[in-house]
């Protein structure tokens, strides 16, 4: 209960007029950088950092963290409306968010996403409030084998959930791993798979791949299907925003499960991206309507969004309590902390109580401010869907080009992005699944590094993955998730013989 009184004290710091104004400013700027692909929370936070030097540390961190919330929310907007995920963690939102928006329900999709995101973030903050010290210990227990086990678990929960032809899934996954390996190998320092192009030393950035695969690829599919007419028909209804949020409690199980997955992956260094993929995969497997995932299911939006924000929020905890930044944004903020004269780490909770609890209280208030502002902007964003396709198509192309370029100021990235566009179109056309490909690009090299580091520790023995309780549980859970669909598939013919024949058309549609 000590924490609770500290928190109340924190609220008295956070809920003041200047601080609320700072929150609103931060959130609005954050939404802007989140919506614009190629710019993200790290850009925004770095640009605002110099402005904060004259501020009180509490005010400064409130401004920066509000921007972070805004960017997290804004990142989902382009994923849902144009199938262009601005950040790795919002990729899984495109799977059901975009089909729903394209169906003429952009308002519902956006409001559902924001509502569940806010829920996830709140659960994350509550966790931080009550379990700060315990969480820090869990994060410290993680070494390379545990890292690998967490990534393995994320893969296992997502891959092999059926739908696509198995060999095509395997090919897509392997291509993703190979792309992730391009560039400098972080374990040995040697340069890999540059195909004779020196510039590839920096690797293929995830954003470049995703802009092409999803943005351009989807545009090509859309222009071929000629969905011009459907895009215009979307109606804007303010009340739908509240109706969509009001419907959320009906999916309570999905919300709680996703928040739990998110918090777990945020504390353990799996991160928001792995969390959102894993949550989507698990929801698809256990939802009664799992078969319809990929066609615009509400739970297909709730699950990745809740987990993403729960993980994003709880990932700030290791930064505060251990001094280990969990993400690029957290790293920039930590730089700020040091400039303001604070030392991140365990002592922060003792020396700077006002700062820490002011920040934690501002997370509650900031998220409420963010969700209110972002829900107000839903109709504005939804109106974008009414722009005729002939106008929006070249704009999407430009957004993808600028986004790919600004990742590392490289023209080569733009060309690669266009190449990924063709690949995305072909894969979509021929029912190769894109999700495993993207997942492998995002966490493939991290998983590989963790595996090789573990092998170094154990001198080549796989026994290290069963060396202690934590890692054994993770690995066993992963294997179980991997084998589950196989077992179910083997069991199916015995249960009902007629079913598979009728299922095929539905399945073809569901492939992401």
Partner 1 sequence: MISRRALELATAILTGSFGVAVVVQSLDNGIGWSSAGVEAGTFPFLTGVIIVAGSLYNLVRGVVPTASLANVPVAITSIELRRLAGLFVPAAIFVAAIPLLGMYVASAAYVFAVLAIPRHQSLLHSAVTAAATALALYVVFERMFQVSLPHGALAAALGF
Report the candidate in 99, 84, 93 with the shortest Cα–Cα distance to residue 39.
Answer: 84
Smallest distance, partner 1 to C-beta of residue 380, A: 16
348 close to 320: Cβ distance less than 8 angstroms: yes
Q: Does 507 bind partner 1 (CB under 8 A)?
A: no
Which is nearer to partner 1, 54 or 189 (by Cβ)? 189
Q: Does 194 bind partner 1 (CB under 8 A)?
A: yes
- Residue 191's DSSP bridge partners are 184
Q: Would you call 512 helix, strand, or coil by DSSP?
A: coil
Which is nearer to partner 1, 370 or 400 (by Cβ)? 400
Answer for which of 377, 406, 408, 472 binds partner 1 (CB under 8 A) is 406
Q: Does 70 bind partner 1 (CB under 8 A)?
A: no
Which is nearer to partner 1, 39 or 101 (by Cβ)? 39
Q: Does 439 bind partner 1 (CB under 8 A)?
A: no
Q: Which stretch binds partner 1 (CB under 8 A): 49-57, 117-125, 193-201, 469-477?
A: 193-201
Give me the 154-173 binding string for partner 1, x by CB under 8 A, dash otherwise.
Answer: -------------xx-xx--
Smallest distance, partner 1 to C-beta of residue 232, A: 14
Smallest distance, partner 1 to C-beta of residue 444, A: 9
Q: Does 198 bind partner 1 (CB under 8 A)?
A: no
Q: Does 125 bind partner 1 (CB under 8 A)?
A: no
Burial degree of 493 (CB within 10 A; 0-12, 13-18, 19+)? exposed
Write phi, then psi, for 15 (nearest 5 degrees).
-90, 75
Pairwise CA distance, residues 241 & 360, whole Å: 28
Q: Does 402 bind partner 1 (CB under 8 A)?
A: yes
Q: Would you call 290 helix, strand, or coil by DSSP?
A: helix
Instruction: Using the structure block, give the residue that is written with the tokens 């999905």.
Output: 254
Q: Does 195 bind partner 1 (CB under 8 A)?
A: yes
Pairwise CA distance, residues 224 & 21, whole Å: 47
Q: Does 33 bind partner 1 (CB under 8 A)?
A: yes
Q: Does 131 bind partner 1 (CB under 8 A)?
A: no
Smallest distance, partner 1 to C-beta of residue 285, A: 24
Pairwise CA distance, residues 125 & 325, whole Å: 17
Q: H/E element holding 183?
A: strand 183-184
Pairwise CA distance, residues 264 & 153, whole Å: 12
Dihedral over Cα of 102, 107, 113, 116: its sign = negative
Token pair of 328, please? 């690029």
Q: Does 414 bind partner 1 (CB under 8 A)?
A: yes
Q: H/E element holding 325?
A: none
Pairwise CA distance, residues 323 & 331, whole Å: 9
Smallest distance, partner 1 to C-beta of residue 451, A: 8
Smallest distance, partner 1 to C-beta of residue 61, A: 21
Q: Does 49 bind partner 1 (CB under 8 A)?
A: no
* DSSP calls for 31-48: HHHHHSTT--HHHHHHHH
Which is nearer to partner 1, 9 or 192 (by Cβ)? 192
Nearest 5°: the CA angle 464, 465, 467 is: 55
Answer for which of 239, 409, 490, 496 binds partner 1 (CB under 8 A) is 409
310 close to 273: Cβ distance less than 8 angstroms: no
* CB-based contacts of 3, cutoff 8 Å, min separation 6: 129, 130, 132
Answer for which of 394, 479, 493, 509 binds partner 1 (CB under 8 A) is 394
DSSP 468: S
Q: Which stretch binds partner 1 (CB under 8 A): 12-20, 33-41, 337-345, 461-469?
A: 33-41
Contact residues: partner 1, CB under 8 A: 33, 36, 38-39, 43-44, 47, 167-168, 170-171, 174-175, 177-178, 181, 185, 187-188, 190, 192-195, 216, 219-220, 223-224, 226, 388, 390-391, 393-395, 397-398, 401-402, 405-406, 409, 411, 414-415, 418, 421-423, 425-427, 429-430, 432, 448, 451-452, 455-456, 460
């Amino acid at each position: 209960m000590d924490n609770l009184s500290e928190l109340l004290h924190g609220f008295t710091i956070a809920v003041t007029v200047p601080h609320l104004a700072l929150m609103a400013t931060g959130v609005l700027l954050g939404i802007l950088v989140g919506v614009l692909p190629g710019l993200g929370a790290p850009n925004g936070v770095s640009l605002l950092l110099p402005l904060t030097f004259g501020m009180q540390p509490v005010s400064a961190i409130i401004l920066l963290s509000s921007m972070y919330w805004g960017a997290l929310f804004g990142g989902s907007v382009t994923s849902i409306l144009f199938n262009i995920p601005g950040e790795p963690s919002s990729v899984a939102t495109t799977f059901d968010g975009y089909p729903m928006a394209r169906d003429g329900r952009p308002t519902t999709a956006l409001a559902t996403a924001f509502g569940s995101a806010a829920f996830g973030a709140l659960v994350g903050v509550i966790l931080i409030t009550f379990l700060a010290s315990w969480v820090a210990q869990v994060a410290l227990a993680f070494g390379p084998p545990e890292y690998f086990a967490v990534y393995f678990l994320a893969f296992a929960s997502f891959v092999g959930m059926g739908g696509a032809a198995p060999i095509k899934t395997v090919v897509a996954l392997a291509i993703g791993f190979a792309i992730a390996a391009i560039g400098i190998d972080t374990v040995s320092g040697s340069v890999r798979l540059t195909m004779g192009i020196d510039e590839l030393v920096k690797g293929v950035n995830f954003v470049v791949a995703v802009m092409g695969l999803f943005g351009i690829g989807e545009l090509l599919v859309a222009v071929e299907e000629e969905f011009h007419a459907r895009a215009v028909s979307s109606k804007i209804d303010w009340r739908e925003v509240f109706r969509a949020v009001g419907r959320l409690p009906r999916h309570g199980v999905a919300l709680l499960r996703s928040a739990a997955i998110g918090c777990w992956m945020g504390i353990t260094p799996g991160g928001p991206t792995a969390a959102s993929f894993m949550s989507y995969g698990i929801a698809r497997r256990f939802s009664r309507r799992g078969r319809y995932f990929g066609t615009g299911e509400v739970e297909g939006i709730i699950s990745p969004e809740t987990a993403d924000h729960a993980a994003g929020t709880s990932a700030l905890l290791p930064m505060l309590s251990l001094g280990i930044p969990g993400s690029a944004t957290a790293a920039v903020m930590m730089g700020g902390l040091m400039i303001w004269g604070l030392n991140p780490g365990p002592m922060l909770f003792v020396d700077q109580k006002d700062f820490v609890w002011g920040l934690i209280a501002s997370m509650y208030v900031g998220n409420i401010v963010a969700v209110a502002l972002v829900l107000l902007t839903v109709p504005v964003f939804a109106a974008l869907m009414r722009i005729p396709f002939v106008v929006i198509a070249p704009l999407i192309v430009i957004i993808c080009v600028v986004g790919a370029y600004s990742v590392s100021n490289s023209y080569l990235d733009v060309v690669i992005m266009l190449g990924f566009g063709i690949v995305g179109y072909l894969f979509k056309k021929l029912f190769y699944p894109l999700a495993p490909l993207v997942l492998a690009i995002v966490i493939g090299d991290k998983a590989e590094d963790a595996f090789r580091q573990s092998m170094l520790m154990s001198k080549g023995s796989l026994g290290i993955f069963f060396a202690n309780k934590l890692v054994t549980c993770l690995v066993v859970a992963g294997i179980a998730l991997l084998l589950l669909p196989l077992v179910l598939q083997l069991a199916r013919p015995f249960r009902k013989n007629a079913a598979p024949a009728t299922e095929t058309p539905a399945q073809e549609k569901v492939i992401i």
